[in-house]
Structure 1
Amino acid sequence: MFMEKNSTSSSSSSSSCFVTSTRRTLTVWMKSLVFNGNGCTVYDSSGNIVYRIDNYDQKLKNEFYLMDVHGNVLVTILKKKLSVIKFWEGYKSTELEGRINKPWFQVKNPRLFKGDHCEVLLIKDGNNIDLENSYKIAGNATAFKIINEAEELVAEVKQKQSVSGITLGEDVMTLMVEENVDLSFIMSLVVIYCLIHHKM
């Protein structure tokens, strides 16, 4: 089960925080539910849709939306550029709806054009970096891990295997998320890492 951290929200679009109560295994299919769309779809172990990720403008891959099964936007993911440095920022839906440009987190690749290692920084109060809570994404296009500042595994992505042990195509992946983790945050990081590796 997922536990919504902000239980006072009037709708699912007003909170992007869904904390896992147990270790979860999800399936990420690199296919949008929108006709000719660009994104992916996330399913739970029962085959139910958990998240949708879409970019409604295929020409510009600079803005993606993490949505729940009803299409409510939970997180907006934006690609930014500062001089020659490119990075990604995530915004909770309430912040964008209020036109308050305060990012939730930033994802940077210190190796510039190589995507095998990314740094994730949480932003406090919209402009201060939370030095006590940082993450790292490391791996390749089909297998990577998300690790916290204590070097503990938070989530892992790898190619999905069938019950008989057959590895499926590169567009179908298994996402394993540890307990007490904000799933929408982790899913946003997975999307960004896939974008860096041109999987969407």
Structure 2
Amino acid sequence: MAAKVHPNVALPSLGQPPADEEPVTLTVWRKSLLLNCRGFTVFDASGNLVYRVDSYASDSRAEVVLMDAAGRPVLTVRRRRLIGLGADQWLVYPGEEARRTPPLYAVKRRAPAQYMRGGGHGSAKSMAHVAPCSGAAGVGAKTGGGYEVEGSYLRRCCTVYDERRQAVAEVRPKEALGTDVFRLVVQPGMEVPLAMAVVLALDQMFGKPSLLRSWSS
């Protein structure tokens, strides 16, 4: 499997494609290329490394840093416990500024009752809601109703919809490679780094086993 997903040469991270461009297709590998690390390695359609997430076993931070191929932080996904509300949030920050700047987005897991019955935002298939944070500015910031995530991350088959019910990103299985390697297809209407941040949050919520679970415990 490693030979099929190994990168060629490092390239700068992808940004938001112009409206007239084609969707961006990434291959996401739930594995760090560094020894004794857990994480993710992400390639473009040509096999070039574009994003990474690396953490040593001793790293106990309740946050995940999405980096570009050169190791520069792009976004940070940090867990926020919501005592008594039945579900936690994963906040998305620009760069590695989780303690210095307001978050851009809050990704909230649907409570089991909502997930089964369709209560609150979205439909009965919804498993997470991505809401823009007030006053946010930077990569991924927007106004409007946010995004709804439907489907099954465990099966690597889920879709991100915007407030107009247009599909803006999809997680799909990659043939014959199991669940640790999958495709992320991002439409021009959504920024690629934000789509990756949503994937990282989903992995903490639903991954079995989650490579990042110890970071948010």
Q: Which TM-score applies when normalising by structure 1?
A: 0.78
Q: Which residue is 1:137 aligned to?
A: 149
Q: How is 1:137-156 mapped onto 2 (pairs within 5 angstroms)?
A: 137-140=149-152, 141=154, 142-156=156-170
- Does residue 38 of the first structure (1) align with residue 38 of the second (2)? yes
The AA in structure 1 aligned to 2:133 is I
Percent of residue pairs identical: 30
The AA in structure 1 aligned to 2:182 is M
More strand by percentage? 1
Q: Deviations over 1:29-56 (max 9, x none)?
A: 1101222212111101111001002334
Q: Which residue is 2:16 aligned to?
A: 19
What secondary structure, in the 3-state scheme, does the structure 2 residue paired with 1:76 have? strand
Q: Deviations over 1:140-198 (max 9, x none)?
A: 1121111101110001011102xxxxx32110101111124211011100111122112
Q: CA deviation at 1:82?
A: 1.8
Q: Out of 151-160 and 86-95, give the one that drifted further.
A: 86-95
Separation in 2, partners of 1:195, 1:33: 20
| CA RMSD after TM alignment | 2.7
The alignment of Structure 1 onto Structure 2 pairs a total of residues equal to 178
Contact 2:109 2:205 in 1 (8 A): no
Separation in 1, partners of 2:179, 2:14: 28
The AA in structure 2 aligned to 1:54 is D
The answer for unaligned runs of 5 or more in structure 2 is 1-11, 116-124, 212-217
Q: Which residue is 1:70 aligned to?
A: 70
Q: CA deviation at 1:112?
A: 5.0
What secondary structure, in the 3-state scheme, does the structure 1 residue paired with 2:35 have? coil
Q: Which residue is 1:89 aligned to?
A: 91
Q: Out of 118-127 and 188-197, give the one that drifted further.
A: 118-127
Q: How is 1:1-200 mapped onto 2 (pairs within 5 angstroms)?
A: 18-21=15-18, 22-57=22-57, 60=60, 62-84=62-84, 85-93=87-95, 95-96=97-98, 99-111=99-111, 117-126=127-136, 132-140=144-152, 141=154, 142-161=156-175, 167-198=176-207, 199-200=210-211
The answer for unaligned runs of 5 or more in structure 1 is 1-11, 162-166
